[in-house]
Structure 1
Amino acid sequence: MHEDFERCVRAVQAKDARFDGWFFTAVLTTRIYCRASCPVVPPKPENMSFYPSAAAAQEAGFRACKRCRPDASPGSPQWNERADVVARAMRLIADGVVDTDGVSGLAARLGYSVRQVERHVRAELGAGPLSLARAQRAQTARLLIETTGLSMIDVALAAGFGSVRTFNDTVREVFALSPTELRARVRTAPATAPGTLNLRLPYRKPLFPDNLFGHLVATGVPGVEEWHDGAYRRTLRLPHGPAVVALKPEDGYIGCRLTLSDLRDLSTAISRCRRLLDLDADPVAVDDALAADRLLGPLVTAAPGRRVPRTVDGEEFAVRAVLGQQVSTAAARTHAARLVLAHGEPVDDPEGGLTHVFPDAAALAEIDPESLAMPQSRKRTLLGLVAELNDGELDLGAGSDWQRARERLHALPGFGPWTVESIAMRSLGDPDAFLPTDLGVKVAAKGLGLTPAAFAAHAERWRPWRAYAVQHLWATGDHPINRLPAA
């Protein structure tokens, strides 16, 4: 996108927010970089230069605009639409892998050498993994400076900087203000409990919240998820400890209230919440493609901006998908709640009714098969999945190889197309995952006048957005997943 100069200029002149995060505009005369929708008067085209990432603009010596705050724009939808090495690397960087494991750890997760990863990422993003992680640390630092009363030493450590000096130098370089000056620009910071932050998560409009939040709440596991005071709340397992998040649909953003055990997990928590709600999607591109179809067109027009409800933990959802095989939503929630009570990590939640973090694969590996109230065939399926996850043979994380994950899932006993594609849609985030054998999808197809054979052929027209088509098909039924819960 950033290489199409004329298209970028038109987007900037129109202040088109749809392109925020797709590219960044650097102004040669002021040495400032902006998002496409920056409210200031656009510069002359001859004074514009375009970069594929904020990190690339920073590397070139530009500082972030104080008006449009380009570092806080939605992420590029490419990283959730693609499964190549660069997209996988970007998802892992957002998940904090470079901060915790370094570039060598990132390369190991991807199955490439450090040199190969550096070359691939720099060729497409204009900056290497370290610079991209540095840009993310700078954004985290600004959030902490502006929304908490933490000392600058604590902010530096929480944002992942190795020293206060590096923290000060980076903030000045990126924002052209010292950390103290950044905090002084905020009139009043909201009063919150220690470790609690109130944030706004941006997205590209439109966003249709009903099925997004409705699905998460209707299938939520008691003790792990709840709908409370107009917000979807859940527990998170993060690198430095458990957390609780409350996500609330607002006009133009998602309200996000995070209570962290360790502030170093802030950027990872934000990344996982954005992934959960599919906030980096390009709804206009998706809707334009699906609306052109004669069958889906009326459904898309009636509810533009549908997102795919995903997950904060790929392994958790895979376990829940197995528990949901051939049973009702209520039964699946009951099975999951039993696992949580028996094997989950307890948490304290004074603001609601959350009690546990969903157990990880190591905890589930200790399950006594006789304690599972389910058919023997499903026990084998669940225990086979848990063993594969616990051994590290199956990667369902942010940087997973979608094709390899599908192959390993298909090889496990009890994994048919419905389970595999459900995991591909929710855990892996594949926008083209498709569930033609799902009961709700089959009922919707019949209502559209399609036989099973005709439906499979017709659905090929929806590529590469079949996961979004499923959301529209599900919405034709009368089910709680399709509507926001009562406040």
Structure 2
Amino acid sequence: MHEDVERCVRAVQSKDARFDGWFFCAVITTGIYCRPSCPVVPPKIKNMRFYPSAAAAQLAGFRACKRCRPDASPGSPRWNERADVVARTMRMIADGVVDRAGVPGLATQLGYSTRQIERQLLAELGAGPLALARAQRAQTARLLIETSTLPMSDVAFAAGFASIRTFNDTVREVFALTPTQLRDRVARGRPVATPGTLSLRLPFRAPLCPGNLFGHLAATAVPGVEEWRDGAYRRTLRLPYGHGIATLRPLPDHVGCRLALTDLRDLSTAISRCRRLLDLDADPVAVDDLLRGDPVLAPLVDKDLGRRVPRTVDASEFAVRAVLGQQVSTAAARTHAARLVIAHGEPITDAAGGLTHLFPGPAALASMDPAALALPRARRTTLTTLVAALAADEIDLSVGGDWHRARAQLSALPGVGPWTVETIAMRALGDPDAFIPTDLGVRLAAGKIGLPATPAALIRHAVAWRPWRAYAVQHLWATGDHPVNRLPAD
């Protein structure tokens, strides 16, 4: 979009927040780059320059605006809409792969050479993987500087910097302030956070409908791993360096996020996974406009603008839960999952609530006794086969995985049919076009509002909803009176 100068200029002059994260506007006379919705007086058109990423603007020598904080913009929706190598790379960078494995490790996981990755990112984003990871480290550093009382040396290493000098130089270059000056700008009287606990705001593109998003997560919550408490959804997180607890609260203009982490090096990964869980980088206007083009769906869309797809923080966990949920009620699926958690989950301490365990990973579940599962024999076979394949890395459900290959790998397992595959694609892989026409709730809703009720006919009708069929499913589910469609009472 940054190459469409006329469109970018209109977005900046109208301060259109919908385009925050899509591109960045730099001003050559001030040396500053901003998000399109920056509240300052728009610069002259001849002084504007447009970049596809914050990293590209930083490479060009511009520093971040102190008013609009462009580094904290919602992420570009392109990376969650697409399945090509650039989108997969961006999802992996957001998940911290470059910080943990370097660019060679990133390229290996993607199955491409380092040179190919560099070339494709430079062509589309104006910056390579190192520059993009550096921009993310700078944002993480600012969060730690402004929301904690950690010593700067601890901030530097928690944010992923290899040295204090690199940390200081990067912060000065990106924000035109030293780390100490950044901290001093925070209002006096800030409450001191509990060590290892951070409070921050997760921005999103308006509108956002919190009912189905938080309602679904709360209604399907696995006891001990998830809970709804005091108006917030809480869950445990398994992270690369340790574990954490996320408390997510829907508010009018942002999602309040409180993270309790055992290792602060997991901060950027935890934020990325929470944003992905809540689908906060979506472009709701584009989704709603397309779905509203179907006169049957239009009333549902107009009733609840900005519906998101509730996703997951752990794809392997969700795949296991999807199999447990085959042909049973929500309550039964929760019960089966809770038994696995008690038997195989890793205990944790939660001083602020009732969370007790991390959901067991594939390695822990691989040792379970199938006879101990209160499931039909065929489903026990499906579950144990899935767990074995996940533990052996024979199925790639990671954020950088190939959606089409993952579908094929899942479909090859016994007992994994189209409903399970597309449910996992929708919520674990994050494919916005995943569609489950065989789902009972979808079929009942389709018949209720006048859509074709048979799967084949519904698939033909839903061609017009592409590439947002997963969002259409959310609107169809909303026609039923079920707890997944509304915020729970405290």
Opposite residue 87 of structure 1, the aligned amino acid is: A
Aligned amino acid, residue 228 of structure 1 = R
SS of match in other structure, 2:408? helix
Which residue pairs with 2:141 in the alignment?
A: 141
**C-alpha displacement of 1:54:** 0.2
Tell me what 1:467 maps to. 470
Q: How does 1:285-364 map to 2 (within 5 A)?
A: 285-364=286-365
Instruction: Measure how far apart 1:270 and its partner are.
Output: 0.2
Given the alignment of the two structures, is residue 174 of structure 1 paired with residue 174 of structure 2, yes or no? Answer: yes
Q: Give CA-to-partner distance per residue, 1:123-163, whole Å, 9 cap, x none.
A: 11100000000000000000000000000001001001111
Alpha-carbon distance in 2 for matches of 1:454, 1:83: 27
Taking the aligned partners of 1:122 and 1:407, their CA distance within structure 2 comes to 31
CA deviations on 1:32-79 (whole Å, 9 max, x unpaired) are 000000000000110000000000000000000000000000000000
- Distance in 2 (CA, whole Å) between partners of 1:368 and 1:114 is 43
| Structure 2 residue identity aligned to 1:483 | R
Q: Does 2:164 match 1:164?
A: yes
For 1:450-461, what aligned pairs fall within 5 Å after superposition? 450-452=452-454, 453-461=456-464
The equivalent residue for 1:484 is 487
- Residue 32 of structure 1 aligns with an amino acid whose one-letter code is I
Distance in structure 1 (CA, Å) of the matches to 2:118 and 2:459: 41
| Partner of residue 251, structure 2 | 250
SS of equivalent residue, structure 2 residue 265: helix
Q: Deviations over 1:238-288 (max 9, x none)?
A: 001110000000111000000000000000000000000000000000000
Deviation >4 Å, runs of 4+: none
Alignment-derived partner of residue 74 in structure 1 = 74
Once the two structures are superposed, what CA deviation does each residue of 1:65-120 show, in whole Å capped at 9, x if it has no partner? 00000000000000000000000000000000000000011101111011111111
Structure 1 residue 425 corresponds to structure 2 residue 422: no
Cα separation, 2, equivalents of 1:195 and 1:396:
29
**Secondary structure, counterpart of 2:286 in structure 1:** helix
SS at match of 1:232: strand
Written as runs of structure 1 = structure 2, the 5 A alignment for 1:26-425 is 26-188=26-188, 189-425=190-426
In the alignment, what sits opposite 2:23?
Answer: 23
Give unpaired runs (5+ residues) of structure 2: none
Q: CA deviation at 1:193?
A: 1.1
Work out the CA distance in 2 between the residues paired with 1:361 and 1:451: 37
2:444–2:453: 8 Å Cα contact kept in structure 1? Answer: no
Deviation at 1:121, TM superposition (A): 1.1
Q: Runs of 5+ in structure 1 lacking a partner? A: none
Q: Match of 1:374, SS?
A: coil
TM superposition shift of 1:455: 2.2
One-letter amino acid of the counterpart of residue 67, structure 1: R
Deviation at 1:457, TM superposition (A): 1.7
Supply the distance in 2 between the matched residues of 1:194 and 1:152 (Cα, whole angstroms).
15
Letter in 2 for 1:230: G
Taking the aligned partners of 2:112 and 2:345, their CA distance within structure 1 comes to 34
CA deviation map 1:155-203 (0-9, x unaligned): 0010011110100000000000000000000013332211000000000
Would you say the 8 A contact 2:445–2:476 is kept in 1? yes
Cα distance in 2 for residues equivalent to 1:43 and 1:68: 15
Tell me, in whole angstroms, the C-alpha distance in 1 between the residues paired with 2:226 and 2:61.
Answer: 44
**Which residue identity is paired with 1:111?**
G
AA partner of residue 256 (structure 2): G
Query: Structure 1 residue 219: deviation in Å?
Result: 0.6
SS in 2 for 1:187: coil
Count of aligned pairs: 487
Residue type of the partner of 1:327?
V
Instruction: Output the CA distance in 1 between the equivalents of 2:209 and 2:406.
Output: 30
Amino acid at match of 2:139: Q
Q: Distance in 2 between matches of 1:334 and 1:427?
A: 20
Kindly state the Cα deviation for residue 456 of structure 1 after the two structures are TM-superposed.
Answer: 2.4
* Matches of 1:456 and 1:8, distance apart in 2: 36
452-461 vs 406-415, which moves further? 452-461
Deviation at 1:431, TM superposition (A): 0.3
For the residue of structure 1 that corresponds to 2:160, the secondary structure is: coil
1:451 CA drift (Å): 3.5
What is the identity, as a one-letter code, of the residue corresponding to 1:479?
Answer: H
Separation of aligned partners in 2, 1:451 and 1:48 = 52
Contact 1:147 1:190 in 2 (8 A): no
Q: Which letter maps to 1:179?
A: P
Q: Is the 8 A contact 2:443 2:453 kept in 1?
A: no
SS of alignment partner, residue 246 of structure 1: strand
Measure, in 1, the Cα distance between the counterparts of 2:338 and 2:453.
38
Q: SS where residue 256 of structure 2 aligns?
A: strand
Identity rate of aligned residues, in percent?
75
Deviation at 1:369, TM superposition (A): 1.1
Question: Which amino acid in the other structure matches residue 336 of structure 1?
Answer: A
My pick for the range that moved more, 281-290 or 183-192, is 183-192
